[in-house]
Amino acid sequence: MENEDKARKFITEVLRNMVVDPSTKERIEKDLYCHIMEAAENVDIDTFLQQMGSPQEVASEFMQNIYDSDSDLVQKLVQDKKIPPHHPAPPPHPLHHLHPPHHPDPASHPTPPPPHLKTVKPPMHPVSPPEEANREVPED
Amino acid sequence: MDGINRQLKKGVTEILVLHLLSKMDMYGYQLIQDLDQKSASTFKMKEGSLYPILYRLEDSGLVKSYYKEPQGREMPKKYYEITPEGVLELNKMKTEWIRMQMIVNSVLDIDKEGS
């Protein structure tokens, strides 16, 4: 197999293990290709690909460094999987612990979202507040 | 310990990459090799660490990239070069690095103990 084919095959596997937006994916694809071909001018491509690690490891390293934090990554995963945003339940009644609610019909009380969605933090770069929030309220 | 080491390295890699690029334009593979050599293999960067740094630097206008025409049978290489803004930022980073180093050493009593 030619060096170009080996590089392409490896990169396809790396990209298959990544959750990034299409433009970043394209950027990584081009750069990894150049990188492997640059290396192949100096060392044997099979040895070099082996040194890089498995495609899963390469993908994981990229992901860890592209996202600033775990919460950014979770947000991205949620967006990519098109999971609807979680609307938090209203605060419990002050005497909630004394009188736990009884739910005879499970259909009317859907299962809570999985734990990983409950821990989603706001993004590192918060979205600007809506204009209404900045508007001055005239004093009475 | 590995985790701490990783975080420490992560914090300074950006300044090291910018510094290397301030000396000469380099392509990705060359940057990894150079950093490995100059740091006595302390900074053995993986591709997944280098390129996201280059993306951040490029997106903030501190470096820019270009393809160099291949010579003979060589493949085209993607070079990175530092911009004037990058040079200014590098100088700021170096000043901040020296300041931080002094403060951390002082808190850790390193200067006093000479350790």
pLDDT at position B98, please?
A: 94
Query: Closest approach of chain B CAs to the CA of A128, in angstroms?
Result: 20
Q: How far is the CA of A24 from the CAs of A15, A19, A117, A124, B76, in angstroms?
A: 10, 10, 25, 19, 21
The predicted pLDDT at position B10 comes to 76
ipTM of the shown complex = 0.85
Candidates A2, A100, A11, A71; CA nearest to B51 is A11
Q: How confident is the model at residue B71 (pLDDT cuts 50, 70, 90)?
A: confident
Query: What is the sign of the dihedral through the CA atoms of B10, B12, B18 and B19?
Result: negative
Task: Answer yes or no: is pLDDT of B54 > 90.
Answer: yes
pLDDT surpasses 60 at B23: yes
Instruction: Please report residues of B whose CB lies closer than 8 A to that of A60.
Output: 48
Give, rounded to a whole angstrom, the gap between the first and last alpha carbons of chain A: 79
Indicate whether B84 pLDDT > 60: yes
- pLDDT on residue B47: 96
Q: Taking the CA atoms of B22, B23, B26 and B32 in sequence, report the sign of the dihedral they define.
A: negative
pLDDT per residue as tens, chain A (140 positions): 689 999 999 999 999 999 889 999 999 999 999 999 999 998 999 999 999 999 999 999 999 888 865 566 656 665 665 555 555 555 555 555 454 444 444 444 444 554 444 444 444 444 444 444 444 545 44
- In whole numbers, what is the pLDDT of chain B averaged over residues? 90
- Identify the residue among B29, B30, B32, B50 best suited for mutation to test binding to A, counting A beta carbons within 10 A and taking the highest: B29
**Which pLDDT does position A9 carry in this prediction?**
96
Least CA distance to A55: which residue of chain B? B48
Question: For residue B68, what are the contacts with CB-CB under 8 A and spacing of at least 6?
Answer: B27, B76, B77, B79
Residue B55: its chain A contacts at CB < 8 A? Answer: 24, 27, 66
Tell me the shortest Cα–Cα distance from A134 to chain B, in angstroms. Answer: 28
Between B54 and A111, whose confidence is greater? B54
How would residue B70 be classed by pLDDT, with cut points 50, 70 and 90?
A: confident
Q: What's residue B59's pLDDT?
A: 96
* Candidate from A38-47, A72-81, B33-42, B58-67 with smallest mean pLDDT: A72-81
Other CB atoms within 10 A of residue A41 CB: 13
